[in-house]
Amino acid sequence: MGVNQTKLFKQTFDQSLLNYKNMDIDETLKLALEFHNTNDLERADKLYNKILELNDNHSDANHLSGVVSLSAGRFDDALVKIQKAIAASPNQATYYNSLGNVFKLNNEWVKAESAYFSALNIAPRLHEAHHNLGRLFERNGNLENAKFHLIEAIHSFPGSLESNFSLARVLLKLGKVIEAVNFFQEALQIEPNNPDILNGLAYALEKSDRLSESIGFYEKSLRLEPNVVATLSNLGHALHLIGRAEHAVVHLEKCVELEPENQFNWDRYLFALIFSKTSDRETIFQENKRWAKIIENKISFLDDFNHFSVNPDKKLRIGYYSKEFYSHVTSFFFETLLKHHDRQFYEIYCYFDCTISDEVTEKLRQKADVWEIVSKLEPNQIAQKIRSDRIDIFVGTTNFLASNRIISAYKPAPIVVSYMNQVSSTGLFNVDYLITDDRISPTGQADNFFTEKLVRLSDYICYQPPELEVEIKSAPVFKNGYITFGCFNNLAKINQTVISTWATILRSIPSSRIKLITRSFKDKTIQTRYLNLFKYYGIENDRIDFLTTILDRTKYLKQYNLIDIALDPFPFNGGTVTDETIYMGVPLITLAVDTEMGSMGKSKLSSLKMHDLIAYNKREYIEKAINLSNDINKIQEYKRELRKSAIETIFNGQKHVNELEIAYRQMWKTYCAEHN
């Protein structure tokens, strides 16, 4: 509306107040609607109320005045007027839709649902009612019903931005990512520069393994709204996934500065920090302590354990907590503990805080003495539950994410331990011990970068091979006539420095090839990015093979038979992938770096006494790869000996658990001596 038109309306309004007795109701309603449609709700409502002075049962005036009251937060007035409108004209579907809106905004969900359905009983194709039901069901977690009503809403009004956007979100939650992409794109056609839709589309593309495209849309969204934390976080995460950790850290650090209480972003930031080649032990340590301080300042510790028996020789109750007690790599290591713990001296409680439950969950549950499901409890409630179960030693097993450490922060047991799936110090004052080994955390060098006391076992963790043995085949070089290098690690670990180093190796052995195997290579644009990187360093496309990860564990492990020599990434070495490589008899060249995660390959290979596979700088790494490729009989010897050697040492679950139990007992004796 132009300025002159607005002035005219205001003049007309002022005149109407003076002469409303001379205007009929229809004229007054028409003028009120003009103001309503220009969002001049105050003037519109005054006219609606003038109509109601003349006829307090006027249905449209009651309804529209109620709508104005609702927008102003006057719920009681809105409810009275809209119900009065319905009483006067019970067959108006829009009235019931507005009634539903009153109930929805007043958090009366059941009444809102009933009102929307009443609207649809009168007008089955009413767009607004279907849309509102869709949003209501989305909020309540009834995603299939939400999907149905949002599709109906779009059938009634294909050009609805809100309905297309809402349906895309629901489809994303249902895991229907390809359909979600389509509806985000529909919404974007309607409003091309909407940053929320751009962020949603980018996220759906990321979940569709189209990472390069997703990054472009995240960046476009941020150009429109630069400091939206959700978009900054998503962009940082996507950059991390494709091996650009240094760039990821910049965006994720900004997120935690803008929202220091947001645990989700702290998870992403601290994890990405580990992968960045610019991070050192001190930086990683200080940032974890910074996170820990935020947590410790807002919780109450459960630090009074006077009611516990302090008998140093009693049967100990060990409580293991995890968010990954299902078909996840953590289970490959945790099952070893349940299998070998001595139940004469240790009672094992497992605290299951997972949203996924499967056949592995059931297998673990059967091997535990007590299995507690705590996934619906808040962290303080979980901590209190652990305390009431009189756990002597509490062990957090998935501390690689900061938010998974919050239970430990409460001090739920006399002794708190960090063990297994971890990447750094927890930073927490209340975590007493951290399990590691002397190669991961060298004595005298690493201790200053932990708030915990370090307990060093022979090996920091123990992999359990699959129950059904997977066949190891001869090194493929004997069939192919050329060396095949390979890496099965995720792209977050494969940065440009790693690519340039691998390219040097490939250039030195002109007939050699490399296989890269990870889920992200479903995305052809990601393949293109890595092909271009290799080409930049002089390696043609026909020497690089991309394979995607197979979910079936046996079929996945058989893929290791396709490579002669595995190349470990750096500065973040392979973890589980290293164990799998060794299990399948493939020699691994690793580059040891002065961080916990940069020393994992060194730890495993040192225990196997295979020091000739460990490099301490890039020159050595390259030389060792070239030298081994020139000794194919040595490669075949590794094929014969690696698994057997590992089963006797680093895969020896009984030996590992015996050491762990000795450590637990010593922790308890120390506690008893201090508190007796």
364 domain residue, yes or no: yes
Does residue 3 register a pLDDT over 50? no
Whole-structure pTM value: 0.86
447 domain residue, yes or no: yes
In the beta sheet, which residues pair with residue 416? 394
499 and 433 inside one domain: no
What average pLDDT score do residues 121-145 get? 96
Q: What is the pLDDT of residues 260-311, one digit of tens each?
A: 999 999 999 999 999 998 888 999 999 999 999 999 999 988 777 877 889 9
230 domain residue, yes or no: no
Q: What is the CATH number of the domain that holds 506?
A: 3.40.50.2000
DSSP string, 58-70: -HHHHHHHHHHHH
Q: What is the pLDDT of residues 11-58, one digit of tens each?
A: 554 554 545 556 788 888 999 899 998 888 888 889 988 888 889 999
Does residue 1 register a pLDDT over 50? no
322 and 452 inside one domain: yes
233 domain residue, yes or no: no
Q: What is the CATH number of the domain that holds 352?
A: 3.40.50.11380
**How does 475-492 read in b/e, with b if 16+ C-beta sit within 10 Å?**
bbbeeeeebbbbbbbbbb
Does residue 604 register a pLDDT over 60? yes
Of 168, 188, 222, the last residue of a domain is 222
Does residue 585 register a pLDDT over 60? yes
392 domain residue, yes or no: yes
Q: What is the pLDDT of residues 441-480, one digit of tens each?
A: 999 889 999 999 999 999 999 999 998 899 999 999 999 9
In the beta sheet, which residues pair with residue 437? 457
Q: What is the CATH number of the domain that holds 8?
A: 1.25.40.10
Count the Cβ atoms, other than its own, within 10 Å of residue 201.
28
81 and 190 inside one domain: yes
Q: What is the pLDDT of residues 399-445, one digit of tens each?
A: 999 999 999 999 999 999 999 988 999 999 999 999 999 999 999 88
pLDDT band at 86 (very low <50, low <70, confident <90, very high): very high
Q: Residue 141: what pLDDT?
A: 92
Strand order in the sheet with 346-352: 370-373, 346-352, 316-322, 393-396, 415-418, 433-437, 453-457
Please answer whether residues 537 and 497 qualify as being in contact, where contact means their C-beta atoms are separated by less than 8 angstroms. no
Residue type (1 letter), 346: Y
Count the Cβ atoms, other than its own, within 10 Å of residue 232.
25
> To the nearest whole percent, how much of the chain has pLDDT over 90?
82
450 and 491 inside one domain: no
133 and 262 inside one domain: no
381 domain residue, yes or no: yes
324 and 278 inside one domain: no
Kindly tell me the burial class for residue 26, based on how many C-beta atoms sit within 10 Å of its own C-beta (0-12, 13-18, 19 or more).
exposed
Q: Residue 600: what pLDDT?
A: 95
329 and 378 inside one domain: yes
Q: What is the pLDDT of residues 224-245, one digit of tens each?
A: 999 999 999 999 999 999 889 9
What average pLDDT score do residues 494-498 get? 92
CA 490 to chain centre: 15
31 and 172 inside one domain: yes
Measure the N-to-C terminal CA separation of the chain; round to a whole number of Å: 82
Q: Residue 445: what pLDDT?
A: 86
> To the nearest whole percent, how much of the chain has pLDDT over 70?
96
Does residue 625 register a pLDDT over 80? yes
Q: Residue 525: what pLDDT?
A: 84
462 domain residue, yes or no: no
470 domain residue, yes or no: no
116 and 16 inside one domain: yes
284 and 161 inside one domain: no
253 and 147 inside one domain: no
What average pLDDT score do residues 493-518 get? 95
445 and 483 inside one domain: no
Average pLDDT, the chain: 93
Number of domains in the chain: 4
**Domain span including residue 270:** 245-296
pLDDT band at 10 (very low <50, low <70, confident <90, very high): low
